Amino acid sequence: MNETQESAFLKTIQGAVLITHNNEDLLCCIEDLQSTKYFSIGQIFHAVRVLNGKTVEDYGNLWPKYRPANGTNPQSNDWQHIAAAYENCESDYDFLVEACNQLKEEVPAIVARKTVEQNISAFKASLSENI
């Protein structure tokens, strides 16, 4: 599945993001992210990227780089700024908002878990009808 398809599926479901953890894609309810601080900086940034159907290259200089271009410091200033923001966030959702702001993307809406589950069921049903 490509970025555009994943993005379209996520936007159809509403209120969920796809986060890769231990090489496994997890469909996570955004509402649940308000009470967790489990995912890494990279996982949240990639979730925003997938949600919006873009590549890292599409973001250009907005995408944080871990190492500076000149290689003189172990971490770039951008990364240090993002890491500080991550530490100051109380939840994965708070950092999702920070990542969206950094990438100049709209913050996805929080949808009640029950509604997300209903949307997933309806989405699965529509897929099976089209097979």
* pTM, to two decimals: 0.87
Considering only residues 48 and 9, tell me which one the structure prediction assigns the higher pLDDT. 48
* Predicted pLDDT at 87: 96
Residue of 38, 30, 37 lying closest to 89 (CA atoms): 37
pLDDT tens per residue, range 79-100: 888 999 999 999 999 999 999 9
Residue of 82, 104, 89, 92 lying closest to 28 (CA atoms): 92
pLDDT tens per residue, range 17-46: 999 999 998 999 999 999 999 999 999 999
* Predicted pLDDT at 68: 65
Q: What are the sequence ranges of the domains in the chain?
A: 3-126
